[in-house]
Amino acid sequence: MDLWNVSERQPTAATAFEMGARQREISVSEFFLRNRHLLGFDTPSKALITAVKEAVENALDACEEAGILPEIAVQIHNRYGGKWRVVVEDNGPGIVEGQIARIFGKLLYGSKFHKLSQSRGQQGMGISAAGMYGQLTVGKPLHIISRIEGNELANELYVSIDTAKNRPDIHKKKQLKWDRAHGTRVSIEMEGLYQKGPHSIEVYLKQSAIANPHATVVFQAPNGEEIRFERSIDELPPRPREIKPHPYGIELGRLIQMLSETPSRTLMQFLVDEFSSVGKKTGSEIIARAGKQLTARSHPKHIARAQASALHQAIQHTRISAPRTDCIVPIGEQRLLDGLRKELQADFHTVATRPAAVYRGNPFQVEVAIAYGRPEDAGFELDDSGHMHRKNTASEHLIARRNEPVRLLRFANRVPLLYQQSSCAITKAVVQTNWRAYGLQQTKGAIPIAPMGILVHVASVWVPYTSESKEAVAPYPEILKEIRLGLQQCGRKLAHYLRRRMQLQREYERRIYIEKYLPHIGIALQEILELTDEERDSAVSRLDDVLHKSRKT
Amino acid sequence: MDLWNVSERQPTAATAFEMGARQREISVSEFFLRNRHLLGFDTPSKALITAVKEAVENALDACEEAGILPEIAVQIHNRYGGKWRVVVEDNGPGIVEGQIARIFGKLLYGSKFHKLSQSRGQQGMGISAAGMYGQLTVGKPLHIISRIEGNELANELYVSIDTAKNRPDIHKKKQLKWDRAHGTRVSIEMEGLYQKGPHSIEVYLKQSAIANPHATVVFQAPNGEEIRFERSIDELPPRPREIKPHPYGIELGRLIQMLSETPSRTLMQFLVDEFSSVGKKTGSEIIARAGKQLTARSHPKHIARAQASALHQAIQHTRISAPRTDCIVPIGEQRLLDGLRKELQADFHTVATRPAAVYRGNPFQVEVAIAYGRPEDAGFELDDSGHMHRKNTASEHLIARRNEPVRLLRFANRVPLLYQQSSCAITKAVVQTNWRAYGLQQTKGAIPIAPMGILVHVASVWVPYTSESKEAVAPYPEILKEIRLGLQQCGRKLAHYLRRRMQLQREYERRIYIEKYLPHIGIALQEILELTDEERDSAVSRLDDVLHKSRKT
């Protein structure tokens, strides 16, 4: 058999030239249009939630960046058949006219990718992807109104994506009067399915309220019901600052590229200016360790591959302080506790905040909170018109019932993650933790069983999501480790609470027991010692006191 | 509290104009460079396997398209520290010079995205992503040699990606003599970690051999050992044909776009030409159902939204035959069985092929195979130089041991899927199947426990992967259903085998039991009936016969 003999080609076989002629560029919009599940638009119910989520996250980011306390209105209208209109309106700073079309009509376009600081959006895809999905399923462009403070009129645009070119198509554009002083309103028509339950717009908004206690969100459900998530804090979280990458975790190839692109004229200046946590002292240590061919005055552009490789090694072996953490803004222990207490009532709450850490040069920080014990069924309440409503239905999905696996509330940069739980670093860390040590039921490799909710927040200048739909955090070892440590901290406090609760329980039972039998002992003593009734009662009372004291010590 | 009052802005707050000025386009390479885990390059060991996989799949696709029986050589060399060189060489048709740089140095560039027919590659990302990862971690360009049959010389290029522009950078380019008549050789230097075990290059190649019995792959491991996966069939699988989309599952927006872009001048021509499975008869039915405003002669470009919507509805309610299936090439029952028997010895094998089905207009087909029962430990063998080797180590990862969860061998378009098992449609279908009904142990919602391997192959003109790294099939309901049905078919045959085996086992045990006690019965009979030794032996012998016969009926 001669492998190199191609005389037996099948009739339809192609030559290298025919194959070459078929090669073409693929537009990023075409790619994601065909792979819309990568962006979170795989099923109609998920698509509806994803669209709301993308619009709300954009609104929150814009408000915070402009220093405005967010007030967001979300509306869902059923149009016909499975077709819906999603409207999200914010009090943000508005969008300058020239940018509107590209922000809503082009994938991979945005302001957050090229800087290292914490934000909800990262990749400039979410809202234009939602628009593209609407375009695909209903065939109508996005409708946008946006007004900048001080401008007399708002801009109104209808925008779709030219998917073959990943470019916005503007269908109509005009200026109009709008009663908002500033803000943006986006309206998308799309195929969808409105559902209640653990994967619902309500649960998403409720989780979002826990992580964003400074935002007010008003949701108008399809049945006309208005659900308000009021802010509990009238203060914005501190603004995250932009930082440079940390030298740990910078890959050799990236270092070489940075050396060739830097405006710095000396190696020392390069190290100090292009990285965080490197001062002159650390810079000197790195350079000394990198070998004799490099000095503080070496010109970055003239550093050869071998020297760059030595420099890369030297960085890994030099002690460099942890990155500045003001590029990350955790929710904060008190705010987390307040948020949890407000949105889900439980018997016991605890929070742990880990110090900032680094993966691949990116600072990140983990917060963990636990809510244990579920009050009895929240029950029903009457509204003003005398109708009975089940109370707090969304909470039901946040704390597990007895004998159910613990509910996970996963967050990344204050955004609730609702899907792909099994592939998330947070789930993996929960599963890897030995909860039996803290008094819970758990089969190996599974989520523990308890009436409990575990909240984990991963905040980072760049969250590594497992897909563009941003539904799960990729399990980088450094991130897994920090989550595990946070879970352990909370687990120890939970164990303490459970032990104490069990002690109280036992003591209560013992007390009941003694109270039941003490009169009988009294009667027995009376018979044996021939006591009067008074003597008997006094003995019983003293006995009770003594036993009571002995239990207390 | 006046929400519209922004006088309390924080000092660092940005105006809409400042925010607008920061908006920028993000290159698709930059995006994936930062999100390299999306492409399968999250850990060093996975990166090495992913690079091999991408190069091997490209080689297989190219050979098959050109009608050449694939012969592929894979080499892994350790360079220094954690740095590796991966070399993959094929006997494919070669690549025309003008395309080499773009194929290896640009993401989203390829020949397979824009046609509907089954191939391993889809998105034009894999090999350039591997190159980009090498560039990031080691800083060296890809090295490519390619020769087209009939050309005297081969082309040699060094190519990297200009990530800011997603464009190839050619570093060196020349022509040279090459001993291959035709083929391509790609060499990547990259950070990596070489590991054995279930996630290893060996296991990937072994699984690939099962699904591609027409390919020979020779792997040279870092220790110099050569592992050959010889082809067992000297015939290429039939070439899949390109098809048009099936009308079911076409979204309204896409239909509107197709109407506006078609060269067809009548609605009837449009339906017949642009879709598969639509002839004049089905076309007439659709048009009749779409209402009076549309006729067979309506001009596609003049069809308004409301009419398009009626047309869309009509398509969903018209009976349209299943798509042609020659766009999909399953492995085939006999070939699958042969491949399984060759690569993993088991006591029982069975295969089920589902008829082709459609999701979102894309035809797909599911094949399921089961290998049950594991021979005793494969043991050791001596090689020519007298060294002892463990036999068949890669097989150990393909059939579970007793008391272990069943091993899943997941394939999409003949490509083994090694990672992200938990998020794959195949896993979800296995978990949703009630294996207890077929005689296996299974806890609800878990993979069954048995000494077994389950192979599932999803072949489609467009496999919906859960991420760009193509490690898991997205769980579209139509795909889940077909996999479940295939599993059930195999499950029933397995149950039959297991019942039969259990019967034989019981019979064997009864036989042993009888053989053991029959002599004692003989002696007892002799005493009771006062038989001679001959009479006793004859009675025992007849008794044995009778019992033997009664068991057989």
pLDDT digits (tens, 9 = 90+) for B143-163: 999 999 999 999 999 999 998
Residue of B18, B23, B96, B158 to mutate when probing chain A, most A C-beta within 10 A:
B23
- Using N-to-C axis directions, what is the helix angle for B252-261 and A126-137, rounded to 10°? 70
Give dist(CA A47, CA A42) in Å, integer: 7
Q: Tell me if chain A has a CB within 8 Å of the CB of B94.
A: yes
DSSP reduced 3-state for B223: coil
What confidence tens digit (pLDDT) does each residue in B193-213 have? 999 888 899 999 999 999 999
Locus of tokens 């072994």 = B206
Residue A122 has pLDDT above 70, yes or no: yes
Residue of A9, A259, A467, A469 to mutate when probing chain B, most B C-beta within 10 A:
A467
What are the b/e assignments for B368-397, b being 16+ CB within 10 Å? bbbbbbbeeeeeeeeeeeeeeeeebebbbb
Average pLDDT, chain A: 87
Residue B435 has pLDDT above 90, yes or no: yes
**DSSP symbols for B11-72:** TT---HHHHHHT-EE--HHHHHHHTGGGGT-SSHHHHHHHHHHHHHHHHHHHHHHTT---EE
Cβ neighbours for A230, distance < 8 A, ≥ 6 positions apart: A216
Query: Can you name the residues that pair with A184 across neighbouring β-strands?
Result: A90, A146
Query: Can you name the residues that pair with B154 across neighbouring β-strands?
Result: B176
**Which chain B residues touch A477 with a CB distance below 8 Å?**
43
Flag if A96 and B17 touch (Cβ within 8 Å): yes
- Both tokens assigned to B201: 């290059």
Q: What percent of chain A has pLDDT above 70?
A: 92
Give dist(CA B252, CA B308) in Å, integer: 8
Higher local confidence (pLDDT), B5 or B531: B531
Strand segments (E) across A300-422:
348-353, 357-359, 362-372, 380-382, 388-390, 407-412, 415-417
Measured in degrees and rounded to the nearest 5, phi and psi for residue A42 equal -80, -40
Give dist(CA A386, CA B30) in Å, integer: 58
Nearest to B42 among A93, A139, A474 (CB): A474
Q: Identify the H or E element spanning B417.
A: strand B415-417
Give dist(CA B424, CA A292) in Å, integer: 52
- Give the torsion sign (CA, A484, A486, A490, A495): positive
Nearest to B239 among A10, A68, A94 (CB): A10
Residue B379: what pLDDT?
A: 46
- Give the torsion sign (CA, A284, A288, A289, A293): positive
Average pLDDT, integer, range B234-244: 90
Query: Can you name the residues that pair with B465 across neighbouring β-strands?
Result: B473
What confidence tens digit (pLDDT) does each residue in B85-130 have? 999 999 999 999 999 999 999 988 888 877 888 889 888 888 999 9
Higher local confidence (pLDDT), B283 or B383: B283
- Decide if B90 contacts B147 (C-beta within 8 A): no
Nearest to A139 among B14, B252, B468 (CB): B252
Q: Quote the minimal CA–CA distance from A487 to chain B in Å.
A: 23
Q: Strands B407-412, B452-460: parallel, antiparallel or unpaired by DSSP? A: parallel
Residue B449 is given by DSSP the state B
Average pLDDT, integer, range A212-230: 94
What confidence tens digit (pLDDT) does each residue in A65-86 have? 999 999 999 999 998 888 999 9
- Decide if B62 contacts B235 (C-beta within 8 A): no
Nearest to A26 among B31, B108, B180 (CB): B108
Residue A397: what pLDDT?
A: 67
Residues 308-337 of B with CB under 8 A from A: 308
- Decide if A547 contacts A514 (C-beta within 8 A): yes
Residue B519: what pLDDT?
A: 78
Angle, alpha carbons B494-B497-B501 (nearest 5°): 140
DSSP reduced 3-state for B89: strand
Query: Can you name the residues that pair with B176 across neighbouring β-strands?
Result: B154
Residue A52: what pLDDT?
A: 97
Give dist(CA A289, CA A71) in Å, integer: 53
DSSP reduced 3-state for A135: helix
Residue A298: what pLDDT?
A: 94
Q: Which of B96, B28, B400, B60 is nearest to A29 (CA)?
A: B28
Residue B129: what pLDDT?
A: 92
Q: Quote the minimal CA–CA distance from A461 to chain B in Å.
A: 12
- Give the torsion sign (CA, A62, A64, A68, A73): positive
Residue B224 has pLDDT above 80, yes or no: yes
User: Which one-letter amino acid corresponds to residue A401?
Assistant: R
Lowest mean pLDDT among B24-33, B75-84, B415-424: B24-33
Residue B528 has pLDDT above 90, yes or no: no
* ipTM reported for the complex surpasses 0.85: no
- Decide if A213 contacts A232 (C-beta within 8 A): yes
Residue B547: what pLDDT?
A: 67
- Decide if A249 contacts A359 (C-beta within 8 A): yes
Flag if A139 and B102 touch (Cβ within 8 Å): no
Give dist(CA B143, CA A454) in Å, integer: 49
What confidence tens digit (pLDDT) does each residue in B507-524 have? 777 777 777 777 777 787
Give dist(CA A463, CA A474) in Å, integer: 8
CB atoms within 10 A of CB A347: 13
Residue B94: what pLDDT?
A: 94
Cβ neighbours for B514, distance < 8 A, ≥ 6 positions apart: B544, B547
Q: What percent of chain A has pLDDT above 90?
A: 58
- Using N-to-C axis directions, what is the helix angle for A44-65 and A126-137, rounded to 10°? 150
- Give the torsion sign (CA, A402, A45, A82, A102): positive
What confidence tens digit (pLDDT) does each residue in A173-200 have? 999 999 999 999 999 999 999 998 888 9
Q: Tell me if chain B has a CB within 8 Å of the CB of A23.
A: yes
Give dist(CA B282, CA B103) in Å, integer: 41
Flag if B9 and A68 touch (Cβ within 8 Å): yes
Flag if B256 and A423 touch (Cβ within 8 Å): no
Q: Strands A407-412, A452-460: parallel, antiparallel or unpaired by DSSP? A: parallel
- Both tokens assigned to B378: 């494969």
Nearest to B10 among A31, A236, A253 (CB): A236
Q: How confident is the model at residue B8 (pLDDT cuts 50, 70, 90)?
A: very low
Give dist(CA B516, CA B505) in Å, integer: 17
Locus of tokens 């409503």 = A389
DSSP reduced 3-state for B136: helix
Measured in degrees and rounded to the nearest 5, phi and psi for residue B356 equal -65, 145
Higher local confidence (pLDDT), B123 or B180: B180
Q: Which of B232, B430, B435 is nearest to B341 (CA)?
A: B232
Residue A30 has pLDDT above 50, yes or no: yes
- Both tokens assigned to A129: 């992807």
Locus of tokens 């190159």 = B131
Residues 56-85 of B with CB under 8 A from A: 62, 65-69, 71
**Which chain B residues touch A423 with a CB distance below 8 Å?**
420, 422-423
**Which chain B residues touch A230 with a CB distance below 8 Å?**
none
Nearest to A23 among B22, B110, B138 (CB): B110
CB atoms within 10 A of CB B319: 6
Residue B378 has pLDDT above 50, yes or no: no
Residue A391 has pLDDT above 60, yes or no: no
Give dist(CA A497, CA B547) in Å, integer: 68
Residue A416: what pLDDT?
A: 95
- Decide if A457 contacts A332 (C-beta within 8 A): no
Flag if B467 and A464 touch (Cβ within 8 Å): no
Residue A469 is given by DSSP the state T
What confidence tens digit (pLDDT) does each residue in B315-333 have? 999 999 888 888 899 999 9
Q: Tell me if chain B has a CB within 8 Å of the CB of A191.
A: yes
- Both tokens assigned to B240: 């899949």
What confidence tens digit (pLDDT) does each residue in A442-466 have? 988 889 999 999 999 999 999 999 9
Q: Tell me if chain B has a CB within 8 Å of the CB of A465.
A: yes
Residues 422-441 of A with CB under 8 A from B: 422-423
Q: Quote the minimal CA–CA distance from A21 to chain B in Å.
A: 8
**Which chain B residues touch A253 with a CB distance below 8 Å?**
134-140
Flag if A66 and B14 touch (Cβ within 8 Å): yes
Give dist(CA B477, CA A179) in Å, integer: 45
Residues 198-237 of A with CB under 8 A from B: 216, 234, 236
Q: What is the pTM of this model?
A: 0.84
Q: Where are the alpha helices (DSSP H) in A390-476?
A: 425-432
**DSSP symbols for B397-412:** GTSPPTTSBPEEEEEE
Q: How confident is the model at residue A330 (pLDDT cuts 50, 70, 90)?
A: very high
Q: How confident is the model at residue B360 (pLDDT cuts 50, 70, 90)?
A: confident
Residue A378 has pLDDT above 50, yes or no: no
Q: Where are the alpha helices (DSSP H) in A333-476?
A: 333-343, 425-432
Residue of B1, B2, B9, B10 to mutate when probing chain A, most A C-beta within 10 A:
B10
What confidence tens digit (pLDDT) does each residue in A261-277 have? 999 999 999 999 999 89
What confidence tens digit (pLDDT) does each residue in B443-481 have? 888 899 999 999 999 999 999 999 888 999 999 999 999
Average pLDDT, integer, range A293-314: 93
Residue B432: what pLDDT?
A: 94
Q: Which of B374, B366, B368, B315 is nearest to B344 (CA)?
A: B374
- Decide if A271 contacts A278 (C-beta within 8 A): yes
Q: Which of A237, A217, A130 is nearest to A459 (CA)?
A: A237
Flag if B114 and A191 touch (Cβ within 8 Å): no
Q: How confident is the model at residue A153 (pLDDT cuts 50, 70, 90)?
A: very high
CB atoms within 10 A of CB A168: 23
